[in-house]
Amino acid sequence: MPFRQFLIDGFAVHGLSAALLVAFAGAALWTDARTWRIPNKLNAAAAAAGLGVHTVLDGWRGTLFSLAGLAIGLAATLVLYACRAVGAGDVKCFAAIGALGGWQLSVNALIYAIVIGGLIGIAIVVSRRMFSALAVRLRTALISTLLLRVWPVHGAEAASKLTRFPFMYAVFPAVLASLWIPLG
């Protein structure tokens, strides 16, 4: 059974919403990999589809389920956006993921994406043999943070540019993992 239903706060993530979620994540991966952007129209269409599907299948409770997912997906990734770890398109993408799959799936996907993204970053550092450059930048950031109690924005940005990649490389497998192996 490719898309199983599992309960999240008493709601089942229906096969239709799971299929739409995988299609949306695949389209977002394709556009992010090609252009480093996730179009607003794609995010809006996925969020609207999530709201529509859950409203039709579960009534007003489905609408609330979808809106809660949208809000928590948005709020959780806004923290990463404020730290400049993800772009604005990624924030809207997680709002759409939440609208399609609910708040718990959105949080699960974010946790998986952070772990997968970290592994991708390590792979980039290893493959490019950038240990020393990254270590110097991270050491500077750490010392500045500890001594001055200020996170050096320029040092952090320089360090992140060494391992930059489209976040959807981590999000797509994270969405799949969240559908088949939900946390908690």
With H, G, I as helix, E, B as strand and everything else as coil, classify residue 87: coil
Q: Is residue 120 part of a domain?
A: yes
Instruction: Assess whether pLDDT exceeds 60 at residue 23.
Output: yes
DSSP assignments along 8-72, one per residue:
ETTEE--HHHHHHHHHHHHHHHHHHHHHS---HHHHHHHHHHHHHHHHHHHHHHHHHHHHHHHHH
Per-residue pLDDT reduced to its tens digit, 102-118: 999 999 999 999 999 98
Q: Is residue 6 part of a domain?
A: no
Q: Is residue 83 part of a domain?
A: yes
- Total of domains in the chain: 1
Query: What pLDDT, on a 0 to 100 scale, did the predictor assign at position 6?
Result: 46
Greatest mean pLDDT among 11-15, 43-47, 134-138 = 43-47
Instruction: Assess whether pLDDT exceeds 70 at residue 71.
Output: yes
* Least confident residue range of 66-80, 86-100, 151-165: 151-165
Q: Is residue 5 part of a domain?
A: no
Range of the domain at 50: 12-180
Q: Is residue 3 part of a domain?
A: no
Instruction: Assess whether pLDDT exceeds 80 at residue 164.
Output: no
Q: Is residue 48 part of a domain?
A: yes
pTM for this structure?
Answer: 0.78
CA pseudo-torsion sign 148, 153, 156, 158: negative
